[in-house]
């Protein structure tokens, strides 16, 4: 598929000669267009540098805007300037060499000593992976060179060299001009350079002081025409114009014999412009700005950071053959499917490789003018022809093996399905397309977990694989049915959720019975045509109905939240199927997956959820406000809970004040008091939960859902029915606001728990304005914290991936990195896929 | 790969386990709380938990915000509370400041009177003599005298207020007993009734020399200290253990294999490296991989001076130049004999 042509990429610096060789034009006019709006010859938009206007031809290669890749030009600087990015390197070089004879400041003996170190660095093509030792010695060397007082070669004492950011050098307090630096560096021999690890053939140090400036082609810095017809130049062009302008003035002044001060001033100005041209964020340099005071984006800024060339354009690439839409749910789709709106399917194409075996299959859509039809026809010569009503007949006749057709997306095509943020590999999976009416992408709710998707307006993307390699990867490595077990911890990624859990519970709970009509409806929904054996009263037990979904030879014993679950020969004998087995815990799903395979499992999930939903319809499951009505007794209990909590806090406070309260080890007494108080007040909520658990029963649907793990929790119910309890800000009780009090309503330094964020009512009774305020404080705090966590953990993940991305498993199951370094002798100590964690556990039972 | 009955449970050759580990580890961290300094058990010493602790480890920070040690007692005396108290007394760092009820400074005269708290002294089984000896050993320019419960410190040298004051502050912060670097120590009891000591601050080498301590069961959460005392393998185990503990304390499950891989990646070079700019990524040979990560310009500039080569072996650089990456299916290359190729060509013609 790809021709491997690049062995390696070497970085060097460019010599002035090289600049001249690369350049097609010496630029002399510090301007862009003339009055007629035509590029000036020798200006920055010189047509020899390539063209961006669609009408013009490149004067170098004759290409048009689309075909010409652009050519470099150059500016000859009248006076050399220091390349700002290399200033540090220049400093190192000046420090390491003699100011008089320009030899390296090492005596013969030392030279011998460092020779082998240096040879390692220069001569080996492949840099030694772990050259800690070499690097250490090199660092030692540069340190040593700094302290040399007298040149060992010519005996001249070395004066104090000072480097001032960004580009200034002083020798004994006298400024070193760039041309002096250049002369100095030019006299350092290649051999001496090698002691510093610098290859004189790649980088001659005098090249680090610029005499020529390479000017990038125009299509690197395109000018844009605004609606008003006004031209707006790229930041780089602006900068280059300024460099040229100063360069020209400097030249004129030199020629006119202007005083040295004026020349030096201009020279420094030229240095400034060159500095900001390379990097407009150089420390110690005022930022060059656009007329609108916006800082200019110069070379370094183009490369750097998230929006820079490397991360934005090179590590991430734009694609075609993709689509995006809002998602919604469809319980009739399997977990391995995705519903695609017809309008998308009409516009997405899939390559169809014509062979002698599938030629007829290819003809069908070719003959059609409505979906599914064909768009393009790629002949053996690679010529692409559009299929239209005019060409259809002709192309139909010409079809033969070896050609490629591009047809519209149809049912069964594999597409990649993705939701951002793409945090793990389960955020992009390959689904089978099902072309549907409507405008949204449709998914089964059971597969929302790995994508972390919901249907409150979420949008997702699809990508259509175009090459056979891509298709093969999607087919064999990316389908949800095959990826059922997460590589994080071996738990299923797809399982029943929410009302499906409720449905399965209602279906399989003890004593669940259904009439023949209900049973028939339920079974026909999942494509089962036979009824199980009825009970004595003519009804059908839910357990028996569910058992029809199970493989006949399945034997399983496990535990749900309430007790044991026994499946004997495909018959659910005892226990309720709940979320531990078929939800997030997925114990039963795991077993079915490895015993009966991917297809069976994904089918099972679909059928189980369909049956569960059917049960929901039959049984009915509504949460109403009635579920949250309080009996007088509940209200009394709430009062009791509050009184008790207040009592306890009061005693705590008394103990604290009378110094009876002993500080917990490691904490001050004040901290101890706070901790115990919070614990006491938190306990109030626990008591409320405990009370609800004791008094409510399954006739309360909200309670039912909470206990079986379908949705909500008893804590949620306690919040509504009883009390919200202690609110926290930054992990503590609210404390700030006004002097000595959180809100002006309270007394100063009040010891009332309410004054410190204890909310005594629930949503059912409603919150008093004050308590609502306190609750809002807690909510705000948690919202803010959450938004911070995403940034922090996002960066953590980026760091980890960058550090570990090169690791792979070798053929002997060892883990190696890109350079071949051994990380682990056998992956994970046993070479077993972490996705198999639960399977391993189940098997060893 | 599709795995079902009969299929191998082995990891697939070529699998980019690093990325999988990073994702598996990173994904739950999104759901973690950022600010959680609270201690797990109420009565233990304060430690960092949650995301901050994970970042502390991954960053390979040299100075932990809360170093903690776990000291077990010698075999046979695990259930002896007195022994535990003895070890605690020897280990716990007691500052002079915590032993006094009040103090007076006379900066002009260069003297400081420290009024010691007799109860505190007894609780730590210290005498005034212990303290004066300690001050003598630690400070040259100070003279000490005592009268009753009052200890007087006199500054000898020249009496500029600044040096007098800094000296006095340092005296008050002086660790008069216990082990350097260790602060508060707490005795705790495990489920088996064995006593152990938890300390804030860590000093493995120092604690090892304390009599009554089980030298084989000292635990410290300071990775670098463990590396210095026990070596890199121990440090690796500690990194893995600490990460795994932190993650599971937050109620998440991540296979230990992923955590172990991260720990191995941080330590396989023989020294602890962070997963970042100055660690694993910063040490990569590929210029592109480094440049695409952080400090783009710096890497290009340095590479050009030294004429460095990018051998294009890693993932980041191959994505950059648009080549297939060298992990996963990208590792698999198809080879075909020249003769066979000819045969195929002639057959298809």
pLDDT digits (tens, 9 = 90+) for A216-240: 998 888 888 878 877 788 888 888 9
Nearest-angstrom CA–CA distance, B14 and B254: 21
By the 8 A CB rule, do B175 and B183 touch? no
Looking at mean pLDDT, say which of A450-459, A553-562, A674-683, B169-178 comes out highest. Answer: A450-459
From chain B, the residues in CB contact with A131 under 8 A are none
Please give the pLDDT value at position B349: 63
Mean predicted confidence (pLDDT) in A407-430: 93
Residue A117 banded pLDDT, cuts 50, 70, 90 = low
By the 8 A CB rule, do A770 and A756 touch? no
B321–chain A Cβ distance below 8 A for any pair: yes
From chain B, the residues in CB contact with A842 under 8 A are none
Nearest-angstrom CA–CA distance, A234 and A224: 8
Q: Tell me the angle at which helices A87-96 and A132-146 cross, rounded to the nearest 10 degrees.
A: 70
By the 8 A CB rule, do A216 and A236 touch? yes
By the 8 A CB rule, do A249 and A237 touch? no
Nearest-angstrom CA–CA distance, B202 and A599: 55
CA-based torsion, A451, A454, A460, A462: positive or negative: positive
Distance from CA of B328 to the nearest CA of A (A): 7
Strand-pairing partners, residue A557, are A566
Say what the pTM is.
0.86
What is the SS3 assignment for A430? strand
Nearest-angstrom CA–CA distance, A594 and A578: 20
Nearest-angstrom CA–CA distance, A150 and A145: 11
Please give the pLDDT value at position B263: 94
**A-B contacts (CB, under 8 Å):** 339
Contacts of residue B215, defined as CB under 8 A and 6 or more positions apart, other chains included, come to B208
CATH number corresponding to B94-177? 3.30.1360.140
What is the per-residue DSSP string for A566-581? Answer: EEETTEEEES---HHH
B186–chain A Cβ distance below 8 A for any pair: yes
For A832, the closest of B5, B9, B24 (CB atoms) is: B9
What is the per-residue DSSP string for A497-549? Answer: -THHHHHHHHHHSTT-EE-HHHHHHHHHHTT--------TTS-EEHHHHHHTT
Nearest-angstrom CA–CA distance, A415 and A432: 6
A337 is written with which tokens?
């499917």
Of the candidates A132, A147, A137, the one whose C-alpha atom is nearest the C-alpha of residue A114 is A137
Fold classification of B287-331 is: DNA polymerase; domain 1 (1.10.150)
Residues of chain B with CATH 1.10.150.390: 287-331
Chain B stretch 257-276, residues whose beta carbon is closer than 8 A to a beta carbon of chain A: 257-258, 260-262, 264-265, 268-269, 275-276
Distance from CA of B224 to the nearest CA of A (A): 19
- pLDDT > 70: what percent of chain B? 93
Please give the pLDDT value at position A122: 47
Please give the pLDDT value at position A116: 60
User: Mind listing the pLDDT tens digit for each residue in A759-769?
Assistant: 888 898 889 89
A763 is written with which tokens?
């949503």
B177–chain A Cβ distance below 8 A for any pair: no
B320 and A310 in contact by Cβ < 8 A? yes
From chain A, the residues in CB contact with B327 under 8 A are 805-808
Please give the pLDDT value at position A1: 47
A785 and B320 in contact by Cβ < 8 A? no
Please give the pLDDT value at position B33: 65
Nearest-angstrom CA–CA distance, A540 and A160: 99
Distance from CA of A815 to the nearest CA of B (A): 8
For A85, the closest of B2, B301, B321 (CB atoms) is: B301
B58–chain A Cβ distance below 8 A for any pair: yes
Please give the pLDDT value at position B37: 45
Please give the pLDDT value at position A140: 64
Strand (E) or helix (H) holding A350: strand A349-353
From chain A, the residues in CB contact with B311 under 8 A are 7-8, 126
For A477, the closest of B1, B51, B316 (CB atoms) is: B1
Domains in chain A, CATH or no CATH each: 24-71+216-312 (4.10.860.120), 84-207 (no CATH), 322-446 (2.40.40.20), 499-619 (1.10.274.100), 625-768 (1.10.132.30), 808-843 (no CATH)
Mean predicted confidence (pLDDT) in A169-195: 83
Please give the pLDDT value at position A836: 87
User: Mind listing the pLDDT tens digit for each residue in A345-392?
Assistant: 989 989 988 888 888 888 888 878 778 777 777 777 777 888 888 888
Please give the pLDDT value at position A115: 66
A796 and B18 in contact by Cβ < 8 A? no
By the 8 A CB rule, do B69 and B204 touch? yes
- Model ipTM? 0.86
From chain A, the residues in CB contact with B258 under 8 A are 488, 834
Of the candidates B105, B125, B124, B128, the one whose C-alpha atom is nearest the C-alpha of residue B116 is B128
B11–chain A Cβ distance below 8 A for any pair: yes
Please give the pLDDT value at position B6: 46
Mean predicted confidence (pLDDT) in A465-479: 93
Thinking of the domain B68-92+182-219, which architecture would CATH place it in? Answer: 2-Layer Sandwich (3.30)
Nearest-angstrom CA–CA distance, A231 and A235: 13
Distance from CA of A792 to the nearest CA of B (A): 8
Residue B277 pLDDT exceeds 60: yes
Strand-pairing partners, residue A81, are A210
For A805, the closest of B186, B315, B329 (CB atoms) is: B315
For B297, the closest of A300, A799, A834 (CB atoms) is: A300
Please give the pLDDT value at position B3: 45
From chain A, the residues in CB contact with B36 under 8 A are 731
Nearest-angstrom CA–CA distance, A351 and A382: 13
Residues of chain B with CATH 1.10.1790.20: 17-65+221-267
B18 and A805 in contact by Cβ < 8 A? yes
B315–chain A Cβ distance below 8 A for any pair: yes
Please give the pLDDT value at position B1: 40
B280 and A13 in contact by Cβ < 8 A? no
B288–chain A Cβ distance below 8 A for any pair: yes
Lowest mean pLDDT among A467-481, A496-510, A665-679: A665-679
Contacts of residue A283, defined as CB under 8 A and 6 or more positions apart, other chains included, come to A165, A166
Residue B2 pLDDT exceeds 50: no
Mean predicted confidence (pLDDT) in A101-121: 69
Distance from CA of A8 to the nearest CA of B (A): 4
Minimal-distance CA residue of chain B relative to A2: B323
Strand (E) or helix (H) holding A796: helix A769-804
For A6, the closest of B28, B34, B321 (CB atoms) is: B321
B17 and A827 in contact by Cβ < 8 A? yes
Distance from CA of B146 to the nearest CA of A (A): 30
B48–chain A Cβ distance below 8 A for any pair: no
For B305, the closest of A13, A785, A832 (CB atoms) is: A13
By the 8 A CB rule, do A532 and A552 touch? no
By the 8 A CB rule, do A796 and A764 touch? no
What is the per-residue DSSP string for A656-688? Answer: HHTT-SPPPTTS-HHHHHHHHHHHHHHHHHHHH
Please give the pLDDT value at position A472: 93
B22 and A203 in contact by Cβ < 8 A? no
Lowest mean pLDDT among A709-723, A773-787, B88-102: B88-102
Residue A554 pLDDT exceeds 60: yes
Nearest-angstrom CA–CA distance, B275 and B269: 13
Q: Over A145-196, what HEC string results? A: HHCCCECCCCCCECCCEEEECCCEEEECCEEECHHHHHHHHHCCCHHHHHCC
Of the candidates A190, A178, A191, A217, the one whose C-alpha atom is nearest the C-alpha of residue A90 is A178
Nearest-angstrom CA–CA distance, A362 and A406: 10
- pLDDT > 90: what percent of chain A? 21
For A803, the closest of B16, B29, B280 (CB atoms) is: B280
CA dist list (Å): A659 to A665, A674, B116: 16, 14, 21
What is the SS3 assignment for A30? coil
B164–chain A Cβ distance below 8 A for any pair: no
Distance from CA of B227 to the nearest CA of A (A): 18
Residues of chain B with CATH 3.30.1360.140: 94-177
User: Mind listing the pLDDT tens digit for each residue in A684-732?
Assistant: 888 899 999 988 888 888 998 888 888 888 889 989 988 888 888 887 8
Mean residue pLDDT of chain A comes to 85
Place of tokens 């386990």: B17
Strand (E) or helix (H) holding A461: strand A459-463
Contacts of residue A159, defined as CB under 8 A and 6 or more positions apart, other chains included, come to A99, A171, A172
Place of tokens 């309720």: A576
CA count, 13 A, side-chain hemisphere, A347: 12
By the 8 A CB rule, do A525 and A548 touch? no
Pick the CATH number of B17-65+221-267 from 3.40.50.300, 3.40.50.450, 1.10.1740.10, 1.10.1790.20: 1.10.1790.20
Lowest mean pLDDT among A414-423, A803-812, B157-166: B157-166
Instruction: Provide Rg for chain A, Cα atoms.
Output: 38
CA-based torsion, B68, B73, B78, B82: positive or negative: negative
CA dist list (Å): B278 to B39, B60, B259, B284: 31, 10, 20, 10
Identify the burial level of A57 via C-beta atoms within 10 angstroms of its C-beta, where 0-12 means exposed, 13-18 middle and 19 or more buried. middle
Nearest-angstrom CA–CA distance, A468 and A364: 22
For B312, the closest of A8, A12, A300 (CB atoms) is: A8
From chain A, the residues in CB contact with B305 under 8 A are 13, 86, 89, 198, 203, 208
Please give the pLDDT value at position A141: 67
Residues of chain B with CATH 3.30.70: 68-92+182-219
Lowest mean pLDDT among A490-504, B30-44, B82-96: B30-44
Interface test with A, best of B1, B12, B14, B23 (most A CBs within 10 A): B23
Nearest-angstrom CA–CA distance, A840 and A251: 79
Minimal-distance CA residue of chain B relative to A662: B43
Nearest-angstrom CA–CA distance, B255 and B21: 9
Identify the burial level of B166 via C-beta atoms within 10 angstroms of its C-beta, where 0-12 means exposed, 13-18 middle and 19 or more buried. exposed
Mean predicted confidence (pLDDT) in B11-27: 91
Of the candidates A829, A699, A550, the one whose C-alpha atom is nearest the C-alpha of residue B11 is A829
Strand order in the sheet with A556-559: A556-559, A564-568, A571-574
A129 and B285 in contact by Cβ < 8 A? yes
Place of tokens 């449905």: A503
Q: Tell me the angle at which helices B232-249 and B17-29 cross, rounded to the nearest 10 degrees.
A: 40
What is the per-residue DSSP string for A116-139? Answer: HHHHHHHH-SSPPTT-HHHHHHHH
Residue B210 pLDDT exceeds 70: yes
Interface test with B, best of A1, A6, A9, A400 (most B CBs within 10 A): A9
Residue B119 banded pLDDT, cuts 50, 70, 90 = confident
Of the candidates B13, B306, B64, B1, the one whose C-alpha atom is nearest the C-alpha of residue A485 is B1
Minimal-distance CA residue of chain B relative to A811: B13
For A831, the closest of B11, B44, B285 (CB atoms) is: B11
């Amino acid at each position: 598929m790809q021709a491997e042509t690049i062995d390696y990429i070497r970085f060097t610096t460019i010599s002035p000669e090289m600049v001249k060789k690369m350049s097609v034009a010496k630029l002399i006019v510090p301007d862009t267009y003339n009055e007629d709006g035509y590029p000036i010859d020798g200006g920055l938009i010189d047509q020899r540098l390539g063209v961006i206007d669609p009408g013009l031809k490149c004067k170098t290669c004759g290409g048009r805007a689309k075909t010409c890749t652009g050519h470099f030009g150059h500016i000859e600087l009248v006076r050399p300037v220091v390349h700002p990015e290399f200033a540090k390197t220049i400093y190192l070089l000046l420090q390491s060499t003699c100011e008089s004879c320009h030899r390296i400041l090492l005596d013969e003996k030392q030279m011998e000593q460092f020779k082998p170190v240096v040879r390692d660095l220069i001569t080996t093509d492949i840099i030694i992976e772990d050259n800690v030792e070499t690097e250490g010695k090199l660092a030692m060397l540069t340190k040593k060179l700094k302290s040399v007082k007298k040149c060992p070669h010519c005996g001249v004492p070395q004066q104090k060299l000072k480097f001032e950011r960004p580009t200034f050098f002083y020798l004994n307090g006298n400024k070193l001009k760039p041309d002096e630096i250049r002369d100095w560096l030019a006299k350092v021999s290649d051999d001496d350079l090698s002691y510093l690890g610098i290859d004189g053939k790649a980088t001659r140090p005098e090249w680090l002081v610029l005499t020529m400036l390479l000017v990038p082609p125009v299509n690197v810095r395109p000018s844009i025409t605004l609606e008003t017809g006004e031209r707006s130049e790229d930041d780089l062009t602006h900068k280059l114009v300024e460099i040229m302008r100063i360069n020209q003035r400097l030249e004129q002044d030199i020629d006119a014999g202007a005083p040295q001060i004026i020349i030096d001033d201009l020279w420094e100005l030229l240095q400034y412009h060159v500095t900001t041209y390379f990097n407009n964020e150089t420390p110690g340099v005022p930022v060059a700005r656009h007329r609108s005071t916006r800082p200019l984006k110069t070379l370094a800024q183009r490369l750097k950071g998230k929006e820079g060339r490397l991360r934005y354009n090179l590590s991430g690439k734009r694609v075609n053959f993709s689509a995006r839409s809002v998602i919604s749910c469809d319980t009739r789709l399997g977990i391995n499917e995705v519903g695609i709106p017809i309008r998308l399917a009409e516009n997405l194409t899939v390559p169809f490789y014509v062979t002698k075996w599938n030629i007829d299959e290819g003809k069908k859509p070719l003959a059609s003018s409505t979906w599914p039809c064909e768009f393009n026809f790629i002949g053996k010569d690679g010529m692409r022809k559009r299929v239209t009503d005019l060409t259809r007949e002709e192309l139909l006749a010409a079809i033969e093996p070896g050609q490629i057709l591009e047809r519209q997306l149809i049912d069964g095509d594999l597409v990649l399905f993705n939701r951002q943020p793409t945090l793990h590999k389960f955020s992009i999976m390959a689904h089978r397309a099902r072309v549907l009416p409507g405008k949204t992408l449709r998914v089964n709710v059971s597969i929302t977990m790995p994508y972390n998707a919901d249907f409150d307006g979420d949008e997702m993307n699809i990508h259509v694989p175009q090459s056979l390699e891509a298709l093969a990867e999607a087919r064999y490595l990316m389908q949800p049915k095959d990826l059922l077990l997460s590589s994080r911890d071996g738990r299923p990624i797809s399982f029943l959720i929410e009302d499906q859990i409720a449905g399965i519970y209602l279906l399989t709970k003890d004593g669940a019975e259904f009439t023949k009509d209900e049973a028939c409806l339920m079974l026909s929904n999942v494509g089962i045509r036979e009824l199980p054996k009825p009970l004595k009263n003519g009804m059908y037990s839910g357990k028996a109905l569910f058992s029809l979904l199970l493989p006949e030879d399945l034997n399983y014993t496990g535990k749900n939240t309430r007790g044991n679950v026994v499946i004997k020969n495909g018959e659910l004998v005892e226990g309720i199927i709940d979320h531990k087995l078929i939800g997030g815990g997925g114990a039963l799903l795991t077993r079915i997956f490895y015993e009966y395979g991917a297809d069976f499992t994904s089918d099972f999930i679909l059928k189980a959820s369909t049956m569960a939903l059917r049960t929901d319809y039959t049984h009915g499951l509504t949460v109403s406000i009635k579920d949250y009505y309080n009996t007088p007794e509940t209200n009394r209990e709430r009062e009791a809970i509050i009184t008790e909590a207040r009592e306890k806090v009061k005693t705590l406070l008394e103990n604290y004040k009378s110094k009876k309260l002993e500080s917990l080890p490691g904490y001050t007494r004040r901290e101890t008091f706070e901790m115990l108080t919070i614990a006491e007040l938190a306990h109030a909520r626990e008591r409320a939960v405990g009370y609800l658990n004791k008094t409510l029963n399954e006739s309360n649907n909200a309670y039912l859902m909470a206990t079986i793990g379908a949705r909500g929790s008893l804590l949620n119910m306690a919040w509504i029915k009883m009390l919200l309890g202690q609110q926290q800000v930054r992990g503590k009780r609210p404390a700030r606001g006004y002097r000595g009090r959180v809100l002006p309503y309270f007394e100063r330094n009040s010891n009332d728990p309410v004054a410190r964020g204890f909310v005594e009512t629930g949503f059912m009774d409603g919150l008093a304005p004050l308590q609502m305020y306190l609750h809002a404080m807690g909510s705000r705090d948690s919202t803010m914290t959450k938004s911070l966590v995403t940034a922090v953990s996002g960066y953590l993940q980026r760091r980890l991936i960058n550090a570990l991305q090169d690791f792979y498993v070798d053929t002997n199951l060892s883990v190696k990195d890109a350079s071949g370094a051994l990380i682990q002798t056998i992956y994970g100590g046993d070479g077993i896929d972490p996705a198999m964690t639960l399977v391993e556990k189940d098997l060893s039972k | 790969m599709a795995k079902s009955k009969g299929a191998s449970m082995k990891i697939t050759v070529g699998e980019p386990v690093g990325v999988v580990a990073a994702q598996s580890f990173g994904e739950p961290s999104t759901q973690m709380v950022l600010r959680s300094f609270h201690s797990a058990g109420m009565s233990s010493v304060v430690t960092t938990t949650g995301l901050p602790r994970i970042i502390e480890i991954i960053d390979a920070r040299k100075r932990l915000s809360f170093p903690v040690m776990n000291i077990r007692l010698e075999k046979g005396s695990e259930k002896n509370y007195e022994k535990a108290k003895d070890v605690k007394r020897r280990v716990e760092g007691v500052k002079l400041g915590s032993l006094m009820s009040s103090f007076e400074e006379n900066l002009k005269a260069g003297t400081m009177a420290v009024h010691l708290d007799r109860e505190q002294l007894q609780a730590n089984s210290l005498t005034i003599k212990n303290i004066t000896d300690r001050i003598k050993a630690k400070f040259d320019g100070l003279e000490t005298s005592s009268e009753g419960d009052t200890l007087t410190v006199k500054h000898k040298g020249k009496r500029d207020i600044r040096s007098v004051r800094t000296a006095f502050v340092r005296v008050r912060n002086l660790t008069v007993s216990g082990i350097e670097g260790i602060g508060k120590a707490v005795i705790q009891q495990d489920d088996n009734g064995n006593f152990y000591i938890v300390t804030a601050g860590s000093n493995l080498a120092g604690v090892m020399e304390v009599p009554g301590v089980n030298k084989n069961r000292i635990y410290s959460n300071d990775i670098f200290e463990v590396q210095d005392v026990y070596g890199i393998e121990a440090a690796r185990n500690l990194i893995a253990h600490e990460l795994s503990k932190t993650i599971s304390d937050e109620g998440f499950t991540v296979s230990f294999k992923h955590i172990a891989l991260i720990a191995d990646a941080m330590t396989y070079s023989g020294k602890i490296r962070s997963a970042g700019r100055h660690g694993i990524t910063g040490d990569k040979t590929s210029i592109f991989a480094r440049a695409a990560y952080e400090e783009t310009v710096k890497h290009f500039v340095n590479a050009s001076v030294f004429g460095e080569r990018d051998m294009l072996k890693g993932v980041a650089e191959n994505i950059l130049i648009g080549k297939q990456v060298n992990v996963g299916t990208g590792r698999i290359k198809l080879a075909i004999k020249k003769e066979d190729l000819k045969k195929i060509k002639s057959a298809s013609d």
